[in-house]
Amino acid sequence: MAPLTVAENGETCTVVKITGRDEVRQHLAELGFVVGTDVTVASRMGGSLIVAVRDSRVALGRDMANRVMVDLG
């Protein structure tokens, strides 16, 4: 288990845990980051990540991406 920020461009991983306050977890869930969902890192721009999750692409800042714990296997 590692934060989403360590995933490489083009790598697909599975969400295993969301950390942070209830409001943060709820916000990420509304964006599609729920346990068991596959996410793919599309690109990096500065400290932000562009991530493909479900049928959309989402931009996440480094702080938010660090709250998404994924299985890199």
Domain 2-71: top CATH class: mainly beta
Residues 6+ apart with CB under 8 A from 57: 42, 50, 51
Q: Cβ distance 37 to 53 under 8 Å?
A: yes
Query: Which 8-state DSSP code applies to residue 39?
Result: E
Q: Which amino acid would we find at residue 67? A: R
Residue 5: partners with Cβ closer than 8 Å, 6 or more residues away:
49, 62, 65, 66
- 73 has a pLDDT exceeding 90: no
Confidence band, pLDDT 50/70/90 cuts, at residue 5: very high
CB 15 within 8 A of CB 37: yes
Domain ranges of the chain: 2-71
| pLDDT-based confidence at residue 72 (cuts at 50, 70, 90) | confident
